[in-house]
Every structure is written in structure tokens, then in C-alpha cells.
Amino acid sequence: MQPYIPGIPLAAVSSRMAGIDWLMIAAYFTVLLCVAWWVVRKNKDTAADYFLAGRNLGWWVIGASIFASNIGSEHIVGLAGSGAKDGVALAHYELHAWCLLVLAWVFVPFYMRSQVFTMPEFLERRFSVGSRYVLSIVSIITFILSKIAVGIFAGGIVFGTLLPELQITIGSVVIDSFWIGSIAVIILTGLYTIIGGMRAVAYNDAVQVVVLIGGSAVLTFYGLNKLGGWGELRHICGPDMFNLWKPLVPVGQIASWAPIKELDASGTIVKQAWYFNNNFPWLGMAICAPVIGLWYWCTDQYIVQRALGAPNQKVAREGSIFAAFLKLFPVYLFIIPGLICYALVKKGLVPELAAEFNKPGGSQGAFPLMVQYLLPPGLRGIVVAGLLSALMGSLAGVFNACSTLFTVDIYEKLRPKASQSELVRMGRLATGVMVLIALLWIPVVKGAHGLYEYLQSVQGYLAPPIFVVFFFGVFWKRLNKQGCFWAMVVGFVVGIFRMAVDTPITLRMFDEYPHGSFLWIVNNINFQYFSILITVISAVVMVVVSYMTDEPNQPQIQGLTFATASAADKADTRASWNWMDVLGSLVILVFIFGAYIYFTG
């Protein structure tokens, strides 16, 4: 799925924003500022309060914050674009709500018992200090290369599409709406994150979720009403676009195991190569996507930090289950509008929309185009506010996660006698640095193509070692610190090597490596299959090295694995849930299973 690149073709679209739209957006920002002001008054100058909101977040705030942090503008814009182009195939990533249930039922007890601030800190308690440093550094790099980059890019799309005439001229330099919008939202988000910390992020997320879901639901309703209902949508799109397992392959290629067959216009095979194209094969979706999902939802600081802000296991679990429920919405509120846009164009119901949609790359702007041409004034402003909500929520979350990782896992280790106020001050400074890096990164982001694939590939290359050490670590008590350290080092080296090989091609420094060479083979292996390879390599290294070295210190791992959890630990966990938690989890699983059945052909 390629997010729409601002400038062409939508730069020529004139803004349809009315006065009442601006009034709705202003009202939204007023609410956010009021929430931020209220939060600042409640904050205390301690690390626990700044980074984890004093461990006093309610379950509904935790769930809403997890969801808002996950759903950025790249999801709304990118998933709708994918829906318009490929149907529901990428809904696999959005049906990973079950991974949040794994967080709720498997990992929450360990995290809450250990009372850690960060995921690297938990890894240190289970394994070693070296493992903590490796994970901290890699996590910060991942945030900068993926989450911040994608958030900025998608925010620029929103402004570049909805407000194309907005520009500032300084001498001979013209700053367009893409730059203005990206810089303004980054600075505003950075300010309330720096001032209010985790509490400001979480409570603003709770407000943003209401606007985000409400705005997207309004757009979906208007689109279906204009089209003639759900049945008409299915009829126009056909079974292929409603098929989760449709292989996403380029025009002129056949989806197969190997070799990939490239065809000419007459259907004659003109090229065969033993590699996998860089799209989303069904086997990669079935194996790699769950690995990335479990890493993201269960071990990524960006997400888990919200659960760590709970006062106890019960609240953390309920918040995670609520987040899993909210995660069911994106398929219907972000991907389906893309299909609606495709159907409206095919049926010719909105000529202005069709004119822009049919331009090269126009399908990737499906969501903002529908906002432009389908919604009446006022409602249009609400949906734009929802897009801004998504952008600000995801950026605020990553800024806060980065500052927490740097301050707790690096700065505090270097200065163990630092006061609480010093740690908070350093956290604010780290957030400011993240904002600066984000601004400097904009030229690179704006020049990129296929950023959603870029996001998924970066995660696919860096996430497998983290998945392996966390999941193997809590289920397998024999695995030790040497196995964990070398599994991460080897896995990360392999992943970064693949990124280094891909980068010159991504930046179009040249078309490809010499055909058939080692680097050509590495570059042409599908990123999901390469991710599976890194997972296997990391797992093998962890197990082999662990069994070649001494057993872990049993007192150190007490309560940090299933096998070493005490009877009291198990009793506390059992007392923290009831039949409503179980029923809620089962309902979510039924909805996920039902979606897979419904969207299979």
C-alpha cells in the first residue's frame, strides 16, 4: 500500500473548507488545550508521573490511548488508498486485535509485577544490562526511522490535499501547505507532550479517539448513502476486492512460490527469477504479520507504556481488552471508505471525485478526496479534525516513548543519582530533540515513495529479535542472558544489513544491483519472507547459545517466567480478572473470526 504523494495530482484541487469547518477545527483544538491545561495542573514533578501518569490511568483512558497511538494519519490515508486500489487485502494488519488480548492475558501480569518503566528495563530484569542497552538503542532508531517519519508524511498529505492553496512566501522561497501543516502539527504536538508528559498524551488520546471514530463513521455513512447501500458496494467492487487473501502483486506478474513469472502484453513469459516481489504474499501475511503484530502490541514501548500507566493488573488488562475492541473499527472506518470511493468513481456518481481519482496515483488520496467532495460543511471540519487527531495522537505517543526510553534506560543508568526533577527535565529535553529530528527528517520523508511498505519493512527487519527474546524469555526459563544478547545482536545485524542493501534502491540511486548477484538476491527477497528468516535465525541463536552457556540465575528470574511464577503471583493474577473480562475477550475473537469468514471471497 503506497500512501498518496502530495503535489501530484491533488495539488491542483481547490480547498472546499468553509467557515464552519474552521470553526469545528478551532473548537477541537480548544478542547485539546483545555485538557492539556487541566493535566498540567494535576502533574507532579516526578518521573513516575511524567512518564507513566503516576500509574493512575483508568482502563478506558488506557484503551483509548493505545488505539489512538496506533491509528495515525498514515492508517487513515494509507489504508483507504489501499482499499480503493486493492480491496480489503491489508485488513490482516488491522485484524490483529487478538494480539492485544495476548498482551492482556499473557504479558500484563509480568509487566505489572515487575513495576518497570520500559520494555528494556524488563529485559534487563529477565536477562542482563547489555540486553537492555541494545533494545533501547534499537527501539529509538526504529521510532525515528518509522513512526515519526510516517506520521510527518501522512500529516503533510492531509494538509496538501485539503488546503492546497495555503502557502507562505519568504523572498523567493515558497513554503507549501505540506510543509506548513507538518511543521505546525509537530510543534504543537511536541509542546503539549513536553509540558504534560504521559498524562497529557493519554487524556488527549481519549478525546481524539471520539473525534477520530466519529468522523470516520460519518464519512462511511455518507459514502454508503450516496452509493446506495452495502449491497451496491459489494456488487460494484466484486468478490476480488472483498477477499482478504487476494495476493498483492504488480500488474504483469503471476503470484507464485518461485520463480516469479513476468509477462508481456500478450501473456508470454518474458522473465523468470527465483525471488519474491516486494508486495504482500499470503504466506507472509499468515506467518510474518502475526510476528510483527505480537512484537508491536505486546513488547513495543510505544504501545505497552500505556498499560504500564495502570495502577494494577486488573486495570491494565481491562484497558488492553478495550483497546482490542476499538481495534476492530479500522477495517470498516478506514479501508471500507476506500472501497466506497472506488465504487463511487466506477459508478460515476461524483464527477469531480472521479476526475481526481483517475489521475496517476489518485487512488491513494481516496480518504481526503471523499472528505473534499462528499461531506457537507461542518461535518467536513469534524472529519479533518479526526485526521489531525490521528496525526497528533501517534506523534505524541512516539515522542513520549522516545523520551522515556532515553531518560530511563540510558540517562538514568549513566547518572544513577539524578533527582526526580532532573529526570523529568531530561525527558522534556529528549522530547524536544525528537521534535527537532522530526523536522529535519521531513525532506527525506517527502521524497520517499511507498512509505507504508517502507514502514512495514523496517518493522519486519528490526522486530523479529525482540519478539523472540520476549516470547521465548517468558515461556522458556532455561534461556539465559548470553542467548538473549547474541540473538538480538545477530538478528539486528541481519536486519540492518537488509535495510542497508535496500536503501540505495529505495532512494533511486540506481535501478538495481547486478542481476543474479548476492546483493540483488537479498534485495529481491520479499521483505516478509526475509523477516521470517531473521526470526528463525534469532530463535536458533538464542537457544543454541543459551544451552552452550550456564543456566540463568534462578532468584533473578523469579516471577519473570511462567515456570518461576510463585503461587502468590498466580493467585494475584487470578484475582485480577472476572467473567466479564473473559466474555469481552471471547466476543472480540468472535468478531475477528467472523471478519475472516466474511472477507474471504
Query: Would you give the DSSP letter of residue 169?
Result: E
Classify the C-alpha dihedral 311-317-318-321 as positive or negative. positive
pLDDT score of 466: 92
pLDDT score of 545: 96
Hey, what's the cell of 508?
Answer: 533511486
Higher pLDDT, 362 or 499: 499
Minimal CA–CA distance to 236: which of 336, 330, 360?
336
Distance of alpha carbon 408 from alpha carbon 416, whole angstroms:
10
Higher pLDDT, 299 or 394: 299
pLDDT score of 257: 43
Phi, psi of 173 (to 5 degrees): -95, 125
Model confidence band, residue 144 (pLDDT cutoffs 50, 70, 90): confident
Is residue 247 classed as helix, strand or coil in its secondary structure? coil
Residue holding cell 512516539?
398
pLDDT score of 432: 73
pLDDT score of 488: 93
Mean pLDDT of the chain: 77
Q: Which of 96-110, 165-179, 458-472 has the lowest mean pLDDT?
A: 165-179
pLDDT digits over 245-286, tens only? 665 544 444 444 444 555 666 666 555 444 444 466 667 777
Query: Is the bond leading into 360 cis (omega within 30 degrees of zero)?
Result: no
Minimal CA–CA distance to 36: which of 212, 204, 206?
204
| pLDDT higher than threshold 60 for residue 459 | yes
Q: Exposure of 64 by Cβ count < 10 A (0-12 exposed, 13-18 middle, 19+ buried)? A: buried
Distance of alpha carbon 81 from alpha carbon 79, whole angstroms:
5
Q: Which CATH architecture has domain 10-246+281-448+573-598?
A: Up-down Bundle (1.20)
Average pLDDT over residues 391-409: 74
Neighbours of 413 (CB within 10 A): 15
Distance of alpha carbon 116 from alpha carbon 127, whole angstroms:
14
Most confidently predicted of 147-151, 243-247, 530-534: 530-534
Domain residue extents for the chain: 10-246+281-448+573-598
pLDDT score of 541: 96
Single pTM value for the model: 0.78
Residue 169 · residue 524 · CB < 8 Å: no
Average pLDDT over residues 59-69: 82
